[in-house]
A and B are shown apart, each in its own frame.
Chain A
Amino acid sequence: MWNDILNLKVALIGIAQILILIIIAPFINSYINKIKSILRGQRGRPLLQGYKDIFKLIRKEVVLSEDASYISKIAPYIVFVSILVSACFLPVFSPQALLSFTGDIIALVYTIGLGTFFMALYGMDQASSFGGLGSSRDILIASLAEPTLMLVIFAFALQTKTTNISQIFIDIHKNGFLNYPVSYVFALMAFLIISIAENGRIPVDNPDTHLELTMVHEAMILEGSGRHLALFEYSSYLKLIIFITLASNIFLPIGIYSGVSSSISSFSFLTILYAILFYILKVLIFATPIAFIEISMAKLRFFRVPDFLMLGFVLSIISLVLYSI
């Protein structure tokens, strides 16, 4: 494992994985929106709209509040980079993640936490009343979702006896998670619930509105504009794709690379291409239910959200205990 780090091919695969994540992140968001629109009977935004938005925002100038401090200037970068770094821990289509030696799955949660922390600070920096509202709600939801996320993670970690994501990936692909089907179902459902909560999707937060009573995530970045807003938007796309990738690789452990040992010299360009396509297919499969949930549910009242998260928490505890006994 240690010798592999310096291996050029491994590094290339790692870079390819992170590039894939970066490239398809806006697409997945547009895809979910498209499905939602179609289900509503609308035509919907084009699938490439995410990229256009980002580019347009980058080219615009930043309007900064006169009350803003250096926090507002660095927070967008820190948020984006922390999400990017945690994306580097993830095996996407092959176990050779770019930074698998620097962080395990606990570090992933805490690195994402760093981003949340700075985003909350950004919300409070412009002395507007919306920002504080958003920060207060968002960080509360994130902290209530964190135990569930940890429990789901520990369910895998205990089964595979490692917290290293690449190792979990290899082990799950080799043995499957279905040795404990009840655990599996409950972990999957708990993971679905926290993915929704962490990414601010509909029963918890509505990413499309700017209504002060209901908005959580959008309230924090209400003052953001130009490249800062672009970075925030991109990091929320990336966060979603991180959760979907985790889910698709752990709960659907089938793929071209499954069951193959970590010696990658035997792989040709074509197999890698197939693996990538297969990965994208899996991501689309896992992104579709999110669209269906969003279309069929109403946003919960803010003080109903803890009930929703409590359901996830109980499911994850059951999943873990059933594994342990």
Chain B
Amino acid sequence: MGQTNTLNGAVILIAILFLFLLSIPFIISFNPKLSLIFSSVIYLLLSVFLLFSLLYGFAKFPLLLPFSAQLSKLFGLRSSTSDHITYLTTIPYLKFSYLFDNLSLFFGFLIAFLGFISSLYSFNYLYEEHYKNKSLFVILFNGFIISMLFVVFSANGLSFLIFWEIMSILSFFLVLFEYEKEESKKAANLYIIMTHIGTFFIFLLFLYMFMKTGSFSFEAWKHLGISGGLSVAGMTIIFILTLLGFGMKAGIFPLHVWLPKAHLEAPSSVSALMSGIMIKTAIYMMIRFYFEFMKSYGWGFGFTILLIGALTLIYGVLNAGIQDNIKRLLAYSSMENIGIMLMALGLAMIFYSQGMYLLCAFAMMALLFHIMNHALFKGLLFLGSGAIASQTHTKDMNKLGGLVKKMPAASFIFLIGVLSAATLPPFNGFVSEWMIYQSLLMASSVNIEIIKVFTPIFASVMALAGGLAALAFVKAYGISFLGRARSQGANSAKEPPFLMLVSMGILAFLCFLLGIFSFIGLMPINKVVKEITNISIYKNIAISYGSIVTLPKYSLGIISPVGLLAAGIIFMAAVYLFIKIFGNMKIRIFETFACGLENKDVYNISDSQISKNVCNAGNSNNHEGNNDNTNNDNINAYTKINNAQYSSTGFSQPLRRIFEKMYNVKENLINEEYKRKYFFPVKNYIFKAGDLFECFYNSFASKFLEKISKLRAYIQGGVVQTYIAYIVGTLIILLIWVSWFYHAG
């Protein structure tokens, strides 16, 4: 704000410097390891730079002043009076302009930081998973991160669209990275189709904005908002288009179908990025539209967003609970978190429309904090799922188990991620969720009856979702890490390599740190909120270093995670001492009671015993997929003992039954009687959890495509004469149009 030209020169220079640095990983991509190390260093530098420029403004970097003027001339850059950089092209309307306000800096920081973490992780992960085209991966991966950076820094509709498309297409290629697999192809196709439908709506939206302002630049759009040049109908159009366009990317309730599939098939470091930050670029644009380009709308918009958020939340968490594939579970949990974010966004909009800027700032803070927290813990969980998948060669939880002994460090890190994602204290998810609860409660001070009645009900929906999320994550952790190995793959797992652990460890540490000392995270966020609402509430929120209170005016409650943790530690010590003094600290190790049956861990008995009990245990477990139990004949009695533990499918059975109507679940019990004549028939239980809406869209799309293809057969008959007729017809129409145009002109 109010920066001079020379300072902007410094910004430009730094931007150019980083552009240069960012291009290096592409150049040296023939050596993936070197390239990844280099890119991780660059992303770290970039994220630190972005964080500092967010916290202290650009004025802290005056060293580069002397060079700036000449360089900016050299590269054809032109800095305007505000914090924009514009690069003019010869194509009319197509200007590449970038803005570095606090909002985009915040998102840029998150992207760069997650980029750092996931390139550090990919360094080992690529070799653990034995991908073929490692150089290609590096190029796509870096391109993806950089395109996301450009998306959030774009200050012009057209350049935004270009980078948005590049981001979508690169992520499409990354989803398709294991292109030999049929599922990858399907997921990638679905993803690219849906994301392009979304882009279509965004394009319509930008065209509408262009019609209103005659410009594609965000600045002009901001003026539109300030001048109040939008009618109610116009705002409604914008609102619906943003919901459809950006909602498709964010994966809101009926448009989420691509999300679980794409996240499942992408390499794990990419799914961490996609879930951690890519789907939130949509939220970023929503914030821009609803708080900068649109002003003075009614409370209906906010309420709609709140409602959609609640639906997304409950649908996501219900589906997360029944998944057997760990990455699908995490993907649905991302959907749940998008729902939470939308609820916070809706609340902020309601407060904004009612002129309650203090509460708006608080809800906004909760929103941005949750975005940050979700990026951290969901990034961690996806990276962790990648570690599991690379070590055990399966993502199916029914084939995991017992990993806590095979990979103790990774399991501990994953536990922290799971606790944060289940929003339990003292981790970061809890703090942001608490803030959103408080915002929901404070909505009762809005003097509108519908909001008064519905916000507590939404809060109860959030509570239900919190409980079910705990269920989903108990399942994710309990089935895949605890108990005994359910397959040979899980039994032979080892600790993932060092850099994978380090990258996950950093995220886990941050989850804990932000949960205890939340003010660290709230400080940069406060800058963003201040820019949007002109109110700085940091001092009101974070007092006494870590205690959080709501605004004094509405003072509803206090929590202090530090105090909680301290009390916990003190009590823990007291209880331990008490038992040590008065009790018995002995532990005897014995086998688990199995109702009197023989109970041996299949995979930990001696080789001779295994060879005695013929056959290759766990042979069937090398296959991916949910329903591949065809080799059941080969499983010996011992494997059945290990499978007597509760399975993932069994764990979610009560949930499935209670919310039967929300799911599209296929269950089959097949008797294979012909294989074994004189014994009990082998029964194969086949279970497949699909998405309700996927089924719905599929039937719809198949009907639609059928009609289209009929039409196509009619038009494109394969007769040459028809095609010539088309050409002539087009020419005649063009001639008529041109002549009419000129005569009229």
Contact = CB atoms under 8 A, between A and B. Distances in A.
A95 interface: no
A60 B434 CA distance: 41
B564 A103 contact: yes
B484 A67 contact: yes
A187 B474 CA distance: 30
B441 A129 contact: no
Given A63-B590, A129-B645, A163 B572 contact: no
Contact of B453 (A67, A109, A155, A321): A321
B571 A81 contact: yes
B464 A110 contact: no
Contact of B654 (A77, A113, A140, A324): A140
Contacts of A143: 464, 466-468, 470-471
B655 A140 contact: yes
A292 interface: no
Interface in B575-611: 575-576, 579, 582-594, 601
Given A63-B590, A136-B646, A136-B652, A154 B483 contact: no
Q: Of residues A58, A59, A82, A139, which shows the largest number of chain B Cβ atoms within 10 Å of its Cβ? A: A139
A143 B211 CA distance: 50
Interface string A102-131: 111111011101101100110111111101
Interface string A42-72: 0000000000000100111111111101110
B591 A65 contact: yes
Contacts of B467: 113, 139, 142-147
Given A81-B568, A121-B477, A161-B556, A136 B650 contact: yes
Contacts of A270: none
Given A121-B482, A150-B460, A164 B557 contact: yes
Contacts of A121: 474, 477-478, 482
A60 to B, nearest CB: 6
A317 interface: yes
B587 A62 contact: yes
Contacts of B655: 140
Interface string B460-488: 11111011101101110111001110000
Contact of A88 (B453, B561, B567, B591): B567
Nearest to A225: B588
A102 B567 contact: yes
A85 B592 contact: no
Interface in A70-84: 70-71, 77, 80-82, 84
Contacts of A133: 646
B612 interface: no
B563 A102 contact: yes
Q: Of residues B473, B584, B587, which shows the largest number of chain A Cβ atoms within 10 Å of its Cβ? A: B587
A269 interface: no
A150 B588 contact: no
A198 to B, nearest CB: 11
Contacts, number: 272
A162 B651 CA distance: 38
Interface size class of A (residues with CB under 8 A): 35 or more
Contacts of A80: 575
B434 A70 contact: no
A136 to B, nearest CB: 5
Nearest to A222: B593
B519 to A, nearest CB: 15
A104 B557 contact: yes
Interface stretch (B116-124, B140-148, B158-166, B420-428): B420-428
A113 B437 contact: no
A132 B441 contact: no
A81 B572 contact: yes
A204 to B, nearest CB: 13
Given A61-B588, A77-B575, A132-B650, A102 B559 contact: yes
B312 interface: no
Q: Interface on chain A toward B: helix, strand, loop, or mixed SS?
A: helix
B459 interface: yes
Contacts of B567: 85, 88, 99, 102
B460 A147 contact: yes
B482 A147 contact: no
Contacts of A147: 460-461, 463-464, 467
Contacts of A77: 572, 575-576
B470 A302 contact: no
A157 interface: yes
B583 A144 contact: no
Contacts of B460: 147-148, 150-151, 154, 313, 316-317
B571 A163 contact: no
A61 B424 contact: no
Given A124-B646, A303-B658, A106 B589 contact: no
Contact of A139 (B434, B470, B590, B658): B470
Contacts of B411: 69
Contacts of B196: none
B329 interface: no
A231 interface: yes
Contacts of A325: 449, 452-453
B382 to A, nearest CB: 21
Given A150-B460, A320-B456, A117 B579 contact: no
B134 interface: no
Nearest to B642: A127
B456 A324 contact: yes
Contacts of A123: 478
A139 B471 contact: yes
Given A121-B478, A151-B456, A154-B456, A67 B466 contact: no
B373 interface: no
Contact of B590 (A65, A102, A125, A164): A65
B463 A149 contact: yes
Contact of B430 (A65, A70, A110, A157): A110
A71 B414 CA distance: 13
A111 to B, nearest CB: 6
Contact of B645 (A128, A154, A306): A128
A18 to B, nearest CB: 9
A235 to B, nearest CB: 10
A146 B653 CA distance: 20
A259 B48 CA distance: 55
Nearest to B463: A150
B181 interface: no
Nearest to A120: B474
A99 B558 CA distance: 11
Contacts of B419: 114, 117
Given A135-B478, A136-B651, A148-B460, A67 B557 contact: no
B78 interface: no
A303 B76 CA distance: 70
A125 B568 CA distance: 23
Interface in B654-681: 654-655, 657-658
A59 B583 contact: yes
Contact of B404 (A71, A106, A132): A71
Contacts of B470: 113, 116-117, 139, 142-143
A146 B465 CA distance: 9
Contacts of B561: 102
A113 B575 contact: no
Nearest to B563: A102
B558 A164 contact: yes
B281 interface: no
29 contacts: A58-B584, A61-B588, A63-B589, A77-B575, A99-B563, A102-B563, A104-B558, A106-B434, A110-B434, A114-B425, A121-B478, A124-B474, A124-B478, A125-B482, A127-B482, A128-B593, A133-B646, A139-B467, A139-B470, A140-B655, A140-B658, A143-B467, A144-B467, A147-B464, A150-B459, A150-B460, A154-B460, A227-B579, A302-B654
Given A65-B589, A99-B567, A129-B646, 10 more contacts: A66-B601, A101-B560, A109-B463, A120-B478, A136-B651, A137-B654, A143-B470, A144-B658, A146-B463, A164-B557
Chain A to chain B: the 5 pairs with minimum beta-carbon distance, closest first: A132-B646, A143-B467, A102-B563, A104-B557, A163-B557
